[in-house]
Amino acid sequence: MPNALKKLFFITIGVFIIMGFFISPEHPHFFWEKIPAFDAIFGFIGCILIVLGSKALGHHGISKDEDYYD
Amino acid sequence: MFKVVPPAFIFILGALLIPFLRERRLKQLFQLLVPIIAFIDLLYMPKGTYWIFNFLGYDLILGRVDKLAMCFGYVFVIMAFLGMVYALHVREDGQHISAFLYVGSTLGVTFAGDLFTLFAFWEIMAVSSVFLIWYQKDKAALNAGFRYLMVHLFGGCALLAGIIIYVSNTGSINFSFIEYGGLASQLILLGFIINAAVPPFHAWLSDAYPEATVTGSVFLTAFTTKSAVYVLLRGFPGVELLIWLGAIMALYGVVYAVLENDIRRLLAYHIISQVGYMVCGVGLGSEMAMNGSTAHAFCHILYKALLFMGAGAVIHVTGRRKLTELQGRNLYKKMPICLSLYMIGGFSISAVPLFNGFVSKTMVTAAAGELHRPVIHLMLHLASIGTFLHTGLKLPYGTWFGKVPKGEKIEEIEAKEPPLNMLIAMGMAAFLCIFTGVYPKILYDILPYHVHYHPYTAYHVVGMMQLLLLTAVAFWVYIDKLGGEPTISIDTDWFYRKPGRIFVWFCNNPLSSFRLKVQNIFSAELDSIIRLSKNPYTAPKVLLWTACLYANRALKSLVGQKSIEEEEKFAERLKTIKSIHYNENIYRTLIGFGVSIVLILLFLSVIINFKM
């Protein structure tokens, strides 16, 4: 990825996280909706969880060779 | 003003007319015209219940038209048009015919007001769609098609059984809200959720869709699962079970998508995931959740078609369908338009603001929030991450960019932009995705209930952007782990693919040899009976001499003597009597004479006894 694009990407992330500190929902339903940048944290950790969790499942039984059913 | 007809019939009639059009341009024009006519028909269809036919004392209703049915009707017809543009270059009539029958029967399900009509169209749907798989014409497609058919026929049987019990319990065949509880409703629900691909009954989808033809799979993505969502919305809103099934489903698809190597199968797992949101919305049952499910079905049809079109275009031009065969070949240089249009679909499914997934998916999650369902809310949120990770990042990266694993040499592959009609179809789908995303009012106005939801609040937009951007960061971190691996994933279809084979082996070997043994015994018995019956006149004697022969042998052996002479005598007699073959002519005269005498006597006795 070109460097300019990389910079832009990180600046965008920064901007949205900072905006998260000033914006809160009108009618929060759950406590975590009041935590600033909760979605960012959730997104990062959730993505890692999905990748590692699925890969672990895959390597412990789900993934088989391509000719498994042949 | 013209008279409106059931839109299902427009497509079914259209399907039947296709083979009669010989001129290719005319045929193509006709194929595009049919969905347009159907759409105009929909616009003129008034709300209400009509097209009622009496059948065996029951009222069959072909037109139950309300906002919910209309919303699905619109998107199905739009999708039929997009799919047909995409498939315009296909020269096999059969594919177009089965596609039209498939669309027609789905519309039949959508506007069916009673359970019998629903069931009839439900079955046509299964049977017509399987040809879109079989037209791929390879062994994998043939087998997957049979499995697809088997699962759908099982679902159809469950539905039929449920309908019969329901009708005999209630006496009514009207299809409306069905009280959940009791065998009838459970069987009907089972039939519905098999078509909605709810785990553990989902494997037919990820098994069969990727094996279909490039153009056929685009049709397949739209109709079966979404019509199932429609009937669930109609029949089972507010069933608690569906909330959990839906949320599990949303995550299930995501997990399998991580492991998937086949690009269309990856997308197929995301159909399961996305339909999970809709099923969850049905279960939540509030007006907002039902609106969310309907809206999401509408948007999903558009963006999922676009995604399948993009993946299909790659398969069409390269003949390759696996990430391991595509990554690192820098296809983005050769097909940039296709990539850009695919990405619009990718952003839509990921619910990026200004794309249509954002205005519908967030409605379901917001409904979960409004009903104070923290676990469901988080599960759906987590599934959103996975969606962007795969459809928005992993798949396009692996297909159009990517790196070749170390040690593997890069060979150039032939690729170019797909045919114009494919690009036009993708362009139109992409336009609709953005249009409904930017101007959601047009969608919200046709939803079944009044909408009190505003997707574009600062909180929603910022939250979603944070979620997606940080997902992208995590993707970057794990980019090397996410390349395709040359594996397949076992799913619940294992239960009928592997043990199924053992069952077939059992039938072919032990069961079959047992059958042969039984058959031999009986045919030997049959032979002796035939021998006896050949000459009924000597049969008693044959039996008698045989009995004598064996009795003699038994008696002598009891006493301890051997009497070869007597035995020979009996055997000799038996042989002579057996050698007499029945010749009907010998006995014919005698029997005829006897019968004549009896008849004459009978006649005389009648005359004597008959008194005037």
CA distances from B463 to B436, B455, B458 (A): 21, 12, 8
Q: State the pLDDT at residue A32.
A: 81
> How confident is the model over A40-66, as a mean pLDDT?
87
Interchain contact A31–B (C-beta under 8 A): no
Q: From residue B465, how far is each of A46, B280, B292, B471 by CA, in Å?
A: 15, 23, 20, 10
Query: Is residue B383 pLDDT above 60, yes or no?
Result: yes
Give the model's pLDDT for residue B109.
94
User: In the prediction, which pLDDT does B86 show?
Assistant: 93
* pLDDT value for B1: 54
Round to whole Å and give the CA distance between A25 and B454.
12
Residues of chain A with C-beta less than 8 angstroms from the C-beta of B491: 62
Which chain A residues contact residue B374 at CB under 8 A? 30
Q: What is the DSSP string of B302-318?
A: HHHHHHHHHHHHHHHHH
Mean pLDDT of B163-192: 91
Closest by CA position to B166, among listed B198, B149, B191, B196: B191
Nearest CA in chain A to B481: A51
Mean pLDDT, rounded, for B13-17: 92
CA distance B255 to chain A (A): 5
**Chain A residues whose beta carbon lies within 8 Å of the beta carbon of residue B255:** 50, 53-54, 57
B213-253 pLDDT, tens digit each:
999 999 999 999 999 999 999 999 989 999 999 999 999 99
Q: What pLDDT, on a 0 to 100 scale, did the predictor assign at position A1?
A: 65
Nearest CB to A16: which of B389, B466, B482?
B466
Interface test with B, best of A10, A27, A44 (most B CBs within 10 A): A44
Tell me what percent of the residues of chain B surpass a pLDDT of 90: 56
For residues B589 and B511, the model is more confident at B511
Q: Could you give the 3-state DSSP secondary structure of residue B63?
A: strand
What's the rounded mean pLDDT across residues B330-359? 91
Instruction: Provide, rounded to the nearest whole percent, the portion of chain B with pLDDT above 70.
Output: 98
Task: Assess B482–A contact: CB distance below 8 Å, yes or no.
Answer: yes
Nearest CA in chain B to A23: B459
Torsion angle defined by CA atoms of residues B34, B38, B40 and B44, in that order, rounded to the nearest 10 degrees: 150
Averaged pLDDT score across all residues of chain B: 89
- Contacting residues of B for A24, CB less than 8 Å apart: 459
ipTM of the prediction: 0.91
Subunit contact B477:A48, Cβ cutoff 8 A:
yes
pLDDT given at position B493: 84
Cα angle for residues B186, B189, B192 (degrees, 5° grid): 155
B385, A68: Cβ pair inside 8 Å? Answer: no
Residue B2 has pLDDT above 60, yes or no: yes
Classify the C-alpha dihedral B37-B6-B18-B116 as positive or negative: positive
pLDDT, mean of residues B140-152: 93
Q: Which band of pLDDT confidence, cut at 50, 70 and 90, is reported for residue B54? A: confident
Provide mean pLDDT across the span B439-448. 90
For the ranges A25-29, B98-102, B131-135, B337-341, which has the lowest average pLDDT?
A: A25-29
Please give the backbone phi and psi of residue B333, each rounded to the nearest 5 degrees, phi first.
-70, -30
Query: How much is the pLDDT for B588?
Result: 80
Strands A63-65 and B487-489: antiparallel
pLDDT at B477 over 90: no
* Residue B583 pLDDT > 80: no
Contact A64 B471 (CB under 8 A): no
Closest CA to B293 of B374, B360, B351: B360
Cα torsion B154, B157, B158, B163 to 10°: value is 160
Q: Nearest 5°: phi and psi at B561?
A: -100, 165
* Tens-place pLDDT, residues B460-476: 898 899 999 999 999 88
Q: Is the pLDDT of residue B559 over 60?
A: yes
Report the pLDDT value the prediction gives residue B582, as an integer from 0 to 100. 66
Per the CB < 8 Å rule, is A40 touching B466? yes
Instruction: Select from B252, B506, B476 the least CA-distant residue to B383.
Output: B252
Report the pLDDT value the prediction gives residue B292, as an integer from 0 to 100.
94
CB contact (8 A) between residue A39 and residue B377: no
Instruction: Note the pLDDT of residue B208.
Output: 92
Which of B252, B278, B253 lies closest to B267 in space, CA to CA?
B253
pLDDT value of residue B590: 85
Can you tell me the mean pLDDT for B300-314? 94
Instruction: Pick the range with the lowest mean pLDDT from A48-62, B124-138, B152-166.
Output: A48-62
Instruction: Tell me what the mean pLDDT of segment B298-327 comes to.
Output: 91
List the single residue in A with minimal CA-CA distance to B489: A63
Q: Answer whether B466 sits within 8 Å of A58, measured CB to CB.
A: no
Residue B494, pLDDT above cutoff 90: no
Nearest to A43 among B369, B466, B497 (CB): B466
Element (H, E) at A64: strand A63-65
pLDDT average, residue stretch B495-501: 84
Residue of A nearest to B372 (CA): A29
**Domain extents in chain A:** 3-62
Looking at residue B424, its pLDDT comes to 93
CA dist B496 and B194 (Å) reads 15
Average pLDDT rounded to a whole number, residues B481-490 = 81
Sorted by where each begins, the domain ranges of chain B are 237-404+414-489, 493-534, 535-581, 586-612
| Residues of chain B contacting residue A47, judged by C-beta atoms under 8 Å apart | 385-386, 389, 470-471, 474-475, 478
Of B256, B475, B488, the CB nearest to A64: B488
Contact criterion met (CB below 8 Å) for B370 and A29: yes
**pLDDT interval class at B376 (50, 70, 90):** very high
User: Would you say B279 and B242 are in contact if contact means Cβ atoms under 8 Å apart?
Assistant: yes
Lowest mean pLDDT among A23-27, B315-319, B438-442, B509-513: A23-27
What pLDDT is stored for residue B563 in this prediction? 67
What is the per-residue pLDDT for B289?
Answer: 93
CB of B363 closer than 8 Å to CB of B449: no
Q: pLDDT, tens digit, for every residue of A12-33?
A: 888 888 888 888 777 778 888 8
Q: B100, B70 in Cβ contact below 8 A?
A: no
Put simply, whether B258 touches A (Cβ < 8 Å) is yes
Chain B residue with the nearest C-alpha to that of A42: B467
The beta-carbon neighbor of A40 closest among B470, B487, B497 is B470
Pairing of strands B487-489, B48-55: unpaired
Taking an 8 Å cut-off on Cβ atoms, the answer to whether B466 and A50 are in contact is: no
Q: Could you identify the residue written with the tokens 């914006």?
A: A23
* CB spacing of A43 vs B457 below 8 angstroms: no
Query: Which residues in B lie closer than 8 A to residue A26 (C-beta atoms)?
Result: 457, 459
